[in-house]
Amino acid sequence: MNSLSLWKRTHMETDYSLKERNTFHFNIHAAAYSEISHPEMIREFIPQTPGEFAPILILGEGSNLLFRDDYQGHIIRSTDTSIEVISERGDDVLIRVASGVKWDDFVKFAVDNGYGGIENLSWIPGTIGACPVQNIGAYGVEVKDKIEYVEGLYLDTGEVFHLEKASCLFGYRDSIFKHELRGRVFISHVTFRLSSNPSYHLDYGVLKTRVESKGAINLSTIRESVIEIRKEKLPDPEDIGNAGSFFKNPVIPETHLSLIQQDYPEIPFYELEDGYKIPTAWLIDTAGWKGYRQADAGVHANQALVLVNYGNAEPSEILDLAENICRDIKHKFGIELEMEVTIV
Ligand code: EPU
């Protein structure tokens, strides 16, 4: 028996509970669910007849998704957790990481080994396979700046792909995997370029102060500081269901900012090349939604950008709340919010 025929026996569960597989902890089910421990196993799910296995959804930790309802297709999750240093030249290191690795396990691996570049991205939930999809970012660093290339297979043909970072079309919480390749590929590996002689990104005031208070500036104290700050502000999905930032931060033109400033001179903003980025958390907070709760759906009391499920909220209750917030922000500030979370 060759190894491929062994993979043929991938176990499939039906009517599978997703309660522990989505960080909102919605009590929903998938029609079918399988785990794969090697990228080649994805070939087993190439449809032999039109519609077979459709629709397939590749799931990481379910930390940036909102399932509207039970999922009527086949969910596949990678359990491949290999991390391989593929080259080390001078300060420069290339590391190829399998998609099933938890993002923060990789950050810890990097920091423990003295490889810098992603320490500001500590404690972000999710997996390696998900990190390029929405180009995760925090405290002045985006993962796109450390990604070298992304590998995987097309779900319809099993053909292998290798996308250099320029071809991934990364943007703010955005990439080709949210558009042209959405639902069409299985990401098997992401390769990162890190440095054993890194420059630190401490332009984010809160982070700088915290790190300096630790007496030494190095990868470990930065990681520790980021974890402390995140734990203070963001609810742990283990305790309260949530998917991190629910909306993106909008970018508006100067004329629009000036209009808002007439009523709200204190509005925070960050100047970008194409306009002014406004923290949605400030908009939601100022509109009075922070800490709002109806039944088990609410807006977190410490970070207004995070919508939470206090226990038994239905997906529709969170979506209704999100719509009400959007309508109110449009009415009060003339800004259309865009969701950061992917709705399935
Ligand atoms: N603010 C409020 N009220 C609040 C929270 C924040 O008014 O309840 C204002 C403050 O003026 C604050 C500003 O909003 O200075 C920015 O807040 P924060 O530093 O918490 O960052 P954010 O813009 O709300 C973004 C990312 C987070 C990331 C942080 C830190 C997005 C959509 N979110 O949030 O990412 O951790 O910066 O870098 O870009 C995620 O994507 O899931 C996520 C958590």
The per-residue pLDDT for range 323-344, each reduced to its tens digit, is 999 999 999 999 999 999 999 9
Distance in angstroms (rounded) separating the CA atoms of residues 86 and 66: 36
Question: What backbone phi and psi angles, to 5 degrees, belong to 220?
Answer: -70, -40
Domain 83-233, architecture per CATH: 2-Layer Sandwich (3.30)
Q: What is the pLDDT of residue 9?
A: 55
Q: Which residue in 77, 173, 210, 230 is the catalytic one?
A: 173
Q: Is-contact 193 88, C-beta < 8 A?
A: no
Kindly give the number of the ligand 1 atom that is closest to the alpha carbon of 134.
41
Q: What residues in the chain have per-residue pLDDT under 50?
A: 1-7
Q: Which of 208, 229, 245, 247 to mutate to test the pocket of ligand 1 (most atoms within 8 A of CB)?
A: 245
Kindly give the number of the ligand 1 atom that is closest to the alpha carbon of 340.
32
Question: Does ligand 1 come within 6 angstroms of the Cβ of 300?
Answer: no
Kindly give the number of the ligand 1 atom that is closest to the alpha carbon of 206.
19
Domain spans of the chain? 6-78, 83-233, 241-343
Spatial CB neighbours of 10, under 8 Å, sequence gap ≥ 6: 34, 35, 36, 41, 44
Q: Which fold would CATH assign to domain 6-78?
A: 3.30.43
Bridge partners (DSSP) listed for residue 221: none
Any idea what DSSP says for residue 313? -
Domain 241-343, architecture per CATH: Alpha-Beta Complex (3.90)
Q: Does the annotation mark 151 as catalytic?
A: no
Q: What is the pLDDT of residue 51?
A: 77
Q: Which of 104, 178, 276, 305 to mutate to test the pocket of ligand 1 (most atoms within 8 A of CB)?
A: 305
Q: Does the annotation mark 122 as catalytic?
A: no
Distance in angstroms (rounded) separating the CA atoms of residues 221 and 211: 6
Q: What is the pLDDT of residue 52?
A: 77
Tell me the percentage of the chain whose pLDDT exceeds 90. Answer: 92
